[in-house]
Amino acid sequence: MSLLLFLQLALICLIVGEWLFVSTHRLYLEDRTDDASQGTAWEHFVAENGFIVPKIITRDDARFTFHLDLYTSSVLHVRATPDGPAACEVYLVKNGARTLLLQASLSGPFSASALVPSGPVDVEIVNHGVITWSDLRVVTRFRVLPELLAFAILFLFTCRFKRDTPLPAAPIQFALALASICVTFVLIELGMRTVNEKLPFSVADSRHDLGVFRLDPRWQFSTRYKKRMRPNSNTYTQWNYGDLVTTAAIPAEASSPTVNRFPISTDSEGFRNPVTRERIAVAALGDSFTDGLIVPREQTWPAQLEKILGTPVQNYGTAGFGPQQERYVLEDFAIHHHPKVVVIAFFAGNDIFDAESFAKFQQSPTDSAEIPGWKIKKVVMRYQTFYPYTLSSMALQGVWRRDVQTADQTLQPAPAAAAASLPDSASQPRAYFNRGMFHFPVHGQEMSVAIMPAYLRTLNYSREWFAARPGWELTRRTYLEIKQTAAQNGATLVVMFIPFKSQVFLPLLQRAFSSGDLNRDFRFYFRENQSDANVAVMAKNRLAQNELMRTFCEDNGLPFLDLTPAIQQQIEQGNNLYFPDDAHWNAAGHAFAAQELAAFLKQHKIEYSLP
């Protein structure tokens, strides 16, 4: 009797274990095995209903293939949303045979699933028209029919023998203990799901890789600004990898993590200043290059400019802002503090595109308020999605961190050992490309840089292309309105042009690598559309936006500071002003921008001193 009961308990544990170990394998464009030569496809991650959803957008009769090696039969889940009339087919290729799994003509959202056999297979997806594929994934099948049959047989035997033999105590006690543990875990899970929005933000952050989204409490949404920082917030931030890793442009293995932890606070107006001052000399408007959320506040260029000029400089930058939001900031906040100078930091990477997206938001705040996400874990076991696993992982990580801190404090390397770990000075760095990270020598020292694909693609566009964009018309019109507002209040508007990373690094990369090698390496960034990799076109258009903005400023009497040549010169001297795995400036970049702006104001005799 005891044996029968223990066997039944073992089968129950086996069934529960198989259920917990059901795996989800998401299909990302980086894993496609075709040559990406047909059609266009690109991928991004969006927050929807509290979760991050991977989305692949395809057009031009795109065709893409994924190779899978499944240890058990699984189910392919497909969710497609067309933009206009469209159609799609999904094929399974196994042992040279091509079988149609799904086929549909699309006029609206479409969801379906199909069985995929175990072993090596290829899943080929073909689209006609423009289609958004949401969370393409393969989920292993939960099949427990043999275990259930065995349990039923053992249960019948137990019922038959129970008439003559009393139930033994040991299996019953074990079953009760197991049931208590299960009930406890279920109650924890249900309780934490019920109060999910009220849990500490650290819990949601620990479920970051699972795609659990929770609005950062430092930010708030509004119909006027879309998203901006909350006033009077006082928190900490920590990041180990730059945005090129967190957005999946390059793998984490291509970079070296560094722990960056510092306080993030805002003033009563919701900007990154110690206090809100009654009177300021300079108002700094801009986006993430101005608020500088990846460096301590005192290292941002507005704070550095204040030290150089010796007069109050207020930081009104906010990550994600474009020209229209910067105009609102001037009207709602900055101008009321009577600045002598208003500086707009124009970022060539996305300001024109941000102007267009914000215009769409203003027309339909609900429909266009898409929240960007991040790359989530590719393979997830079901047990990893439950809160008890999250809490136990957080506890173990806390113990690990304490052990590491103790080791760091007690096991400092001896000077001789530290010297021995330094690279051989006789070895010369060489130029090579490794999974998205360029490494090349500059004055005998190795410089490392990875590039944001979206910004690199911008180099394909000419001055005429930008001039014809609705975003350029919105930008120039908004800047003229800002100029008028500033002039009416006795302030001078200065436009400071901030280049994106590939604008200043392209000449160095062209000297370190051949055109053929660069075209090949750039295809890593353009895995979804390799026709975009054309170094000759990029070099020709490298300064397209610089020339467009310079002409606009000259025609309208606006002082214009283009940081591109000065930053390029610094990099060519071996001074990297950007984080290797991030699109933004490091502390040296912010300091250099402040120095250049201060010199520009003095050279052009722009009055910034307060009476």
Per-10-residue mean pLDDT for the chain, 611 residues long?
Answer: 70 82 91 81 84 89 91 93 93 93 93 93 93 94 78 70 62 74 85 76 76 81 91 90 87 89 95 97 98 97 98 97 98 98 98 95 70 84 88 69 43 36 54 94 93 94 97 98 98 98 97 94 78 87 98 98 98 96 97 98 95 82
What pLDDT shows up at residue 397?
63
What pLDDT shows up at residue 392?
84
Protein fold of 219-372+463-500+545-574+583-603: Rossmann fold (3.40.50)
DSSP string covering 529-567 = -GGG--HHHHHHHTTHHHHHHHHHHHHTT--EEE-HHHH
- Sequence-separated (6 or more) residues with CB below 8 Å from residue 26: 54, 135, 136, 137, 376, 377, 378, 379
In whole angstroms, give the CA distance from residue 98 to residue 107.
Answer: 26
Of 349, 297, 359, 301, residue with least CA distance to 325: 359
DSSP state of 424: P
DSSP state of 343: E
Angle at 546 between CA 543 and CA 551, to 5 degrees: 130
Alpha helix (H) residue ranges in 333-386: 351-363
Parts of the chain belonging to CATH 2.60.120.260: 24-140
Residue type, 610: L
DSSP state of 427: S
The token duo for 525 is: 């960034």
What pLDDT shows up at residue 254?
92
Which whole-number Å values give the CA distances from 63 to 128, 353, 462, in the listed order? 9, 28, 29
In whole angstroms, give the CA distance from residue 260 to residue 377.
Answer: 23
Under a CB-based contact definition with an 8 Å cutoff, are residues 82 and 106 in contact?
yes
CATH of domain 24-140: 2.60.120.260
The token duo for 26 is: 């998401």
What pLDDT shows up at residue 231?
96
DSSP state of 199: S
Parts of the chain belonging to CATH 3.40.50.1110: 219-372+463-500+545-574+583-603
pTM of the predicted protein model: 0.78
Angle at 45 between CA 43 and CA 47, to 5 degrees: 155
Of 81, 61, 68, 80, residue with least CA distance to 24: 68
